[in-house]
Amino acid sequence: MQAPRTTASHRAFGGTVAFHAHDSSTCGTEMRFATYLPPAAERAKVPVLLYLAGLTCTEETFMIKAGALRLAAQLGIMLVAPDTSPRVARLPGDDAAWDFGLGAGFYVDATAAPWSTHYRTYSWVTQELPDLLRACFPAGDRMGVFGHSMGGHGALVCALRNPRVFSSVSAFAPIAAPSQCPWGRKAFSGYLGPDEAQWRPYDASALVTDVGWDGPILLDQGTADKFLAEQLHPHLLAQACAERGVPLQLRMQPGYDHGYWFISSFMEDHLRFHHEILSR
């Protein structure tokens, strides 16, 4: 497997933040991602935690804004932040809206033209990127995934469908039932077509019912999030988890909104949650 190209590298908390690009066979174009290697990675392989970002974000957003690096250095966790869509291969209308196309891949494998040619971020995140990390970085066998908003949706879906790849999962304000909200219905219609049966494998609330999850899920949601009522629907995920017997810890955080002030406030809890599982 060809090693990725490193475009920038910075020392941080005794470890290294770096930004990479590689020629993805899955997406048929260049894809980008960021890594943080903790000091422990200089001596041995370490557990890996993927963070899937939300709408309009890039591979840089998490590393800059989430406040995760200091504790990741202490815990010895490798952090990986994939980009949220292809960037180099352009498609007609890919920048016409902020919630579809560029920066809004929704972590699906598109089946509708023209998106199916490059927008295959589900397989990239669950198959190609983990293989690349283990081949080219000091990445251990244990891997977790978490994310925010669109990325929270992606984290839940990727984990629920791939329990052999991801041992732990959590989310900040995820789009928990995308088939039942405007963001999700727009994205799924465009990427997957009008047949709603084809959407179900990418809907976390439906997936919990269909396949369950053997372990805990941590979910933080701000009560002052302006997207809560119309777009996020954590209550539907909670209902599905209760019916299936999946131990969901849904924490409604009073006064917090949808942004990175909220995410950074509870980042430590999520890193420790994943570390406890990944270090077993």
Residues designated as active site:
149, 225, 258
Cis? peptide before 114, omega within 30° of 0: yes
Q: Say what angle helices 150-161 and 204-211 make with each other, to 10 degrees.
A: 20
Distance between CA atoms of residues 52 and 81, nearest Å: 6
DSSP string over 242-277: HHHT--EEEEEETT--SSHHHHHHHHHHHHHHHHHH
- Could you tell me if 172 and 51 are in contact, meaning their C-beta atoms sit under 8 angstroms apart? no
Q: How many CB atoms lie within 10 A of CB 211?
A: 14
Distance between CA atoms of residues 248 and 218, nearest Å: 6
Name the DSSP class of 117: G
Chain position carrying tokens 């949220």: 84
The pair phi, psi for residue 177, each rounded to 5°, is: -140, 70
| Residue 250 bridge partners (DSSP) | 219
- Could you tell me if 266 and 172 are in contact, meaning their C-beta atoms sit under 8 angstroms apart? yes
In this structure, which amino acid lies at residue 104?
A
> Assign residue 103 a region: left if phi > 0, alpha if psi is -120 to 50, beta otherwise?
left
- Could you tell me if 169 and 194 are in contact, meaning their C-beta atoms sit under 8 angstroms apart? no
